[in-house]
Amino acid sequence: MQSLKAAILGMGMGVPQKVLTNFDLEKIVDTSDEWITERTGIKERRILEDGENITEYAIKAAKEALTSAKVSPEELGLIICATVTPQYIIPSMAVMVQDGIGAKNAGAFDLSATCSGFIYGLALAESFIKSKPETKVLVIGAEALSRKTNWQDRTICVLLGDGAGAAVVGKSTEPEKSGIMDFTLGADGSYWELLTLRGGGSCYPPFDERLPKDEYYIKMKGREVFKVATRMMEKLAVEILERNGFGPKDIDLLVPHQANLRIIEYLRERLGLPKEKVFVNINKYGNTSAASIPLALYEAEKEGKLKKGDLVLLVAFGGGFTYGSMLLRW
């Protein structure tokens, strides 16, 4: 029995007000509400207005998480911001949050691991708490994917959305009953060409004529991603459960990355879980990459689907590929 465990002490969220429905998209590209709903489960997504920045929503989520955890900004020793769409390259989003919430004693950095970023962040926070048990870590997943979306490309623009979720992680006061139990982090870079955003990287100077204009937006080979994702999600879930002596029936709530309802449904069926044990909010937000899991955890708790002591399984995969799973007691 472990005497020291890290646990999520409080959560917060922040999403733009502007809602973009499938019917709105029908007016922009050759698509339909029927196609999007059937193939992805998405009905609407949140999109930043012109002049807004995702950092303000990350700050909103962070403040709510701190209030909920009853932790002051000064108690934070580290801020990790998982994002592939920071407001700027320099400075990082994490330092802007650090300034925005007045976390005078915290180190801060951005973490780039696409849709698995929040699980990566939680795993790092857990390790940090184990070496400095009296400190607290703020983990944020925040994305402004709409700013890197080609609105002429129907294969991608119907999928993505903007938002931010945050968690304060600290020492569990009841390590036998609550806290992070185990995690897996992984990557397989051989799949990198399936999901890319090459423009803006250091390979080409800005506006380099050699790089086609659409490379300044997220590009994806959706069908291929789908195949790998379904395989990977199942493997991750089964392995972490077995390693900890559990079976699918022991899970109280599965919170998967919200990339496509069909991927989530495939996983649910393979694990033999009833619908009420799998949290889904992709219908409201689309795929928000690193923000997807914290937004789902936040709403699951608010809706009363997460209770103290529940066994929770998080599973995610994303461009790269990166992947991660985490088992915790809420």
Q: Which residue from 184, 183, 175, 182 is spatially nearest to 309, judged by alpha carbons? A: 175
272: region left, alpha or beta (phi > 0 left; psi from -120 to 50 alpha): left
Q: Between residues 94 and 115, which has the closer beta carbon with respect to ligand ACO?
A: 115
Q: Between residues 221 and 249, which has the closer beta carbon with respect to ligand ACO?
A: 221
Find the binder of ligand ACO among 73, 86, 170, 319 (CB under 6 A). 319
Per CB under 6 A, which of residues 240..279 are in contact with ligand ACO? 259-260
From the candidates 22, 81, 157, 257, which is the catalytic residue?
257
Q: How many CB atoms lie within 10 A of CB 148?
A: 17
Distance CA 23, CA 16 (A): 19
Residue 287 in the binding site for ligand ACO (CB under 6 A): yes
Residue 195 in the binding site for ligand ACO (CB under 6 A): yes
Residue 35 in the binding site for ligand ACO (CB under 6 A): yes
Choose one: 53-61, 122-130, 225-233, 235-243; the region binding ligand ACO (CB under 6 A): 225-233
Per CB under 6 A, which of residues 112..141 are in contact with ligand ACO? 114-115
Peptide bond into 86 cis (omega under 30): no
- Measure the CA dihedral 219/224/227/228, to 10°: -70
Say which amino acid occupies 167.
A
179: region left, alpha or beta (phi > 0 left; psi from -120 to 50 alpha): left
Q: Is 81 annotated in the active site?
A: no
Host H or E run for residue 179: strand 179-187
Q: Between residues 64 and 110, which has the closer beta carbon with respect to ligand ACO?
A: 110
Residues that bind ligand ACO (CB under 6 A): 31, 35, 39-40, 114-115, 154-155, 158, 195, 218, 220, 222-223, 225-226, 229, 259-260, 287, 289, 318-319
Catalytic residues: 115, 257, 287
